[in-house]
Amino acid sequence: MTAAPQPATPICAVCGTAVAADADKCPSCGLTKPGARGSQVLGRQGLWLLAAMFLVVYLVVLGIVALAR
C-alpha cells in the first residue's frame, strides 16, 4: 500500500475547508488537526489496531472461501 501524495494545501476531512498544515483545528467545523495524515491521526496504537482488523477480516474471508469449497 502506498501513501497518497500530500496536497499542497490540506483540506478538512469533514467539511472540505482548506486549512494550514500545522493548524490545530479546522476554522470552519473545529475538527482537531485537519491537516494531519495517517500515523499523525491514528497514532502508533491505532495503526496496529488497523493492521489487526485487516488481519481478522483476511482470516474470516479465508475461512469463508475454505468452507465454500
Does residue 15 touch Zn ion according to CB under 5 A?
Answer: yes
**5-39-23 Cα angle (round to 5):** 75
- Using the minimum distance from each CB to Zn ion, give the nearer residue, 14 or 41: 14
CB of 25 to Zn ion, least distance (A): 8
Q: Among the candidate windows 16-24, 40-48, 49-57, 59-67, which touches Zn ion by CB under 5 A?
A: 16-24
Whole-number minimum distance, CB 23 to Zn ion, in Å?
10
DSSP secondary structure string for all residues of 8-27? SS-B-TTT--B--TT-SB-T
Q: Considering beta carbons, is residue 28 or 33 the nearer one to Zn ion?
A: 28
Residues 6 or more apart from 14 whose CB is under 8 A from it?
26, 29, 31, 34
